[in-house]
Every structure is written in C-alpha cells, then in structure tokens.
Structure 1
Amino acid sequence: MIRREVDHARCRAGAMLLALGCALLAGCASGGEEPTPPVTTPSTGASAAATLVVVGSGTTIAHLDSQDEIARWASQVLVVTPRSEEPRDSGGAPEVGRDVTVEVDEVIWTAADAITSLGEGQRSTFYEYPAYVQGEGDLVPAVEEGRSRLELGQPGVVFLADDVVDDEQAFTLLHVSALEEGQVSLAGAAGRVDISHLAQQVDAAALRVDRLTPHPGESLVQRLERYPVEE
C-alpha cells in the first residue's frame, strides 16, 4: 500500500474516532450491549425504499472495491440476512446509526489468520453508520455513497475485519454489497463477481498484497498504525 492510501485511511479513522468514539467504530459485532432508544421512528415499507438517501461520508476505513483490498483488510466475507434493527439516539445529529442483527446464511471466505469467525446459522449484531437521516418526525433510510444497505429480510454480503471494542475481540463491519443472482459488484473489478468464485480470487490476491495481519487484542486502528508504509 502506498503512503497516500494509508494516510487517507488514517485520516478517515481519526475523524471517525473523534466523531463517534471507539465504541462506534465502523460497525462492531456485539452480543449484550443495549442500544439507546431512538427519539424518532424509522420509515417502513415501499416508501422507505423509494426515499433512500445517499450520503457522502460515513465511518468507512477502507473501500473494499477489489479482491486485493478484501485480501488486505478483511477477516471474513459472509452472506447474511438482517433479522432486526434498532436505531440509536443521534443526540440531534442529522445522521443516525443503528444496531442491525443478522443471521449468517453462507460463509464465502475466511482468512487463514482470522481471529474471529462466524458460522452458518449464527447471529451477530453490527453497528452500521449512517443508517438513517433525520426527517420530519421520521428516520429516512440512508446509505454511504459507494456501498449497499442491509435491508431486513433481504440477503446481502458483508465484509468483516477483526477488531477490539471495549477490550473485547469483535468484528467491524467494513463494507456491505448487494447480492443479486449469486453475484456481487466490486467497484474496482470488471463487472460483477460470482460469489462462488470470490474465495478463490481473494486467496490468489492474498499472495500478491501486503496484508494487514490481525493480532489478538489489537484494534483495527492500532493495526493500521503499526502497518509499515512504503516510502
């Protein structure tokens, strides 16, 4: 990874920490934390999908737009179906995050050095931001530019990284991609990618990229800080 890429990622990570705090880092898998009740209610049904708002920035550390970037950053790639959600109180901010609980439908790829992993049928909760914007009395569904949004009952593909949150080993949600007819779209790849081929492609990419290897007890931001930068 060249210096400008790492510096860009560090800037995004720093801004994210200042804005949200360590507990809200990009999207953390959690088991028992109780989210703060929202002050408004989400829009639902067809009208919500029709009014999806695309926002310019969120808490993304890395844009996983190619097999190389998946191999560099991710620990696991899964097909999941969201089962429930709980928006968080934004404290009056225009953009709102949510805790979304998903069920694992299929394990597409797991890194050989992954510390955390999920299996088929397991459930986990991730923090996703932004998930809504404040409307007039309602929360309007929102998504960060360049990624897809997890929708209740609809399978999607999630890209996860090992992380440490509140001194516990966890997953951080790096990226979400829509799943259409067994394929995902990666911005840096030519056309759509068949998920049945993705694991083999990512394994091949791992042979040519400098991976940010996770260490037990090390947060994603700490891993970024220790990663050597090419001059």
Structure 2
Amino acid sequence: MTARQMELLNLVKRHAPITGEQLAEMLGVSRPTLRSDLSLLVMLGLIDAKPKVGYFVGKDYRVENAALQKLKSMKVGEAMGVPVNVPDTLSLHDAVVALFMENADTLLVVNEQKRFVGIVTPKDILKMTLGNPNAGAIPVSMVMTRYPNIVTVAPGDPVTEAIRKMIAHQVDCLPVIDPDGGKEPEVVGWIAKSNVIRLMADLTADGIIGGTATE
C-alpha cells in the first residue's frame, strides 16, 4: 500500500464522513488523482462510501490489519486462476461456443507454439458478426486485441498491483504472463476481480479478517 493510500485511511478515520473533494483538498491534489486509490480502498473493504455523504471507515479496517498485511505480501501467482486458451486459428463460431461452455468473458489466444498473442472478448466478436452472416468462419486472430497492446501482470507481481491495473485501465481481468517470454510470452494464468474477491473471502473464512474497525 502506498503512502498516499495510508494517509487517505488516516484522514478518513479522523474526519469521517468526508467527501472525495475534501480529501483531495487536504492532500493538495485533484479529485481525479485520488479516484484509483479510493476505489482500491473501497474494494478491499478498508473504507466505505455513501452517495451524498462521503467516505467512512470500512468494517475490515484496522491500523495493523492482518489481512492487509497478508494481501500486501501475496503475489499474483498465488491468486491467479487457469485461463481459457484458444488457438489463433479458432473460428468465431467456435469462440462463441468456448465462451459459453467455459463460462468465460474473455479468451486468451495462443499461437502454434502456445505463446500468448492476444485476447478476444464477446464485444470483439459482436462487432465482426453483426450484419455479417458468414463471419462465423473468420479466425479469432482477425478480431483479437494483439499483444503487447494488452495490460498484463507477471506471477511475481503483488496482487495489489494487479488490482491497481484493473482499476486504472477499467478492466475486470488480466492475463498473467511469463516476463521472460520475449515478444511472444507464455501465458501462465489469469487474474480477475472475482479472484480477488474470492481471495478476500478465503481470508475472512480463515479468521484473518475479523472484528470491527479500530476506534
């Protein structure tokens, strides 16, 4: 957690309820500058927010919160899930089938060498197939977003960095790639907001998070 995020926690603890504008004024920055920091703290349950009221201490907040310390030390490799990989020659028709069969919202595309080359989403497929009855035979390589124009993380990155990237780039999930793979790296996993939520739920179940906010 950054120094500014810790300072935000302290300000909310001392002055709650407090608005984003007031926090920005106290820190001498603009309101948009704090957006990703506040979103992260809300996502972690350390602060809560109510419209027209402001921010206040979250139920999971503690000055020396054990869950926070655990989360800070966790790496993406400990929280990532198994990705749904498809070959770049897969047709759009079969890509739609894969999305439904795997209950996925994004497919990771790999080449013949099993190297990561892109991602394809339902929105990508929809753009190509609307008004085009023959689009089903088009390969996903024609519609995918190509690497390296994709936000990614590595297994050794902190989970908090993955959360920051998801918030900053407004995406729900990130491919996890081998950082030593070069121009066409190997995809080794997938981390999504659902992974993070499940991780926090596991910490709760294990008794790492508990009690009420420190007064």
- Please indicate the TM-score interval, normalised by the length of the shorter structure: under 0.3
More strand by share: 1
- When normalised by structure 1's length, the TM-score is 0.22
Greater helix percent: which structure? 2
Instruction: Tell which has more relative contact order, 1 or 2 (C-alpha 8 A, sep 6+).
Output: 1
